[in-house]
A = this chain, B = another copy of it.
Amino acid sequence: MLPTIRDVAKQAGVSIATVSRVMRESAGVRDATRLRVLTAAADLEYTPSQLGRQLAERRHAANGIVFPDLSGPYYAEVVLGYEAVAAELRRSVLILSTHGRSDAESAVREMAGRCDGLVILQHTVSDATVLKLAARGTPLVLVARPPIGSVDSVNAENHASAVSLAEHLLSEGVRDLRFVGNPDVSPDVAERWAGVRTAFEQSGDGHTLDQVTVDGLDEESGAAVAEAALAAGDLPDAFVCANDELALGLLGRLKDAGVDVPGTVMVTGWDDVMAARYAGLTTVRQPMRELGATAARLLEELIVDERTEPRHELLPTELVIRSSSSRTTSPKEPK
């Protein structure tokens, strides 16, 4: 059994209140007494129980973050950015991955009972649960998910970058563009798709735009799309993929089939993951770490300052043009 505050108190010949005061470094303990307590504590290798402390203080000093998965670089980066700031703020970080979990909702609720606040990525949790948690007074921040009620949110800009991306492709002579991804799967994807449409609506005649729905956001799904297009002999001038993994899978399959990229077909992704650089993939860079870091700061405000008016942050993104969509740009990286 680990020593408790009472053991230390007995050993030092003081009351538990005094021990508590010494351990918390609160003022008003005579030096001689402090020393006796510290000696006793060191003797017994005493560490205050976090549990007892948390119960008494009625706070957890911990926050949770809920994400679908950690396999792609995207979520890992967001979590990392979050963790870095949370640690700075001296908060522990609880993680919960909902991917392939049937009891996600209850797991999140249980997690809420262990934290002072929660960050929720994308649509990992139903709106109903989010609202219920908010109503119970749990501080919440949504990331990569549109605001619900008066819950804080942090998002990356999608629409404007999608417009730029599409305009870039148009300027490269693309006439038939095909968007790859399911807008229903995430609001981010929906916004990107909307941005592409906007650009095309302003592009005048002679352009066609279509969309192929794939639910996955992984390389296999991308490869499957390429496969189907090759089999049907129906290649557009450019594939605009909802994220980099899709694009990389698609790109790989096209190259295997000997298709000239960007000569015959152009391909773009979204996120700017590490592999995108090696594949020469045009993409849109998201500030993934910043998303997490910003969420951590907003959450802290909610908890500490008890801020009540909601805040919604929109972080900028950046178009990164590489060889997969450019006949003119050298494949070399600027940086």
Number of copies of chain A assembled together:
2
- With contacts A113-B47, A274-B275, A278-B248 known, is A107 near B95, CB below 8 A? no
Contact of A55 among B45, B55, B80, B256 (CB under 8 A): B55
Q: Contact check, B114 vs A92: say whether CB atoms are below 8 A apart.
A: yes
- Stretch touching chain B among A8-16, A65-73, A206-214: A65-73
Contact of A252 among B96, B100, B278 (CB under 8 A): B278
Q: Report the 9 A-B pairs with minimum CB-CB distance, sorted nearest first.
A: A275-B275, A76-B76, A70-B80, A50-B113, A278-B279, A51-B55, A278-B278, A50-B114, A274-B275
Binding site for B on A (CB under 8 A): 2, 45, 47-52, 54-55, 60, 62, 69-71, 73, 76-77, 79-80, 83-84, 87, 92-97, 100-101, 107, 109-111, 113-114, 136-137, 219, 248, 252, 256, 273-275, 277-279, 332
- With contacts A51-B51, A55-B55, A275-B274 known, is A71 near B76, CB below 8 A? yes
Bound Cα distance from A219 to B277, whole angstroms: 12
Question: Within 8 Å CB of A275, what residues of B?
Answer: 274-275, 277-278
A23: min CB distance to chain B, Å: 12
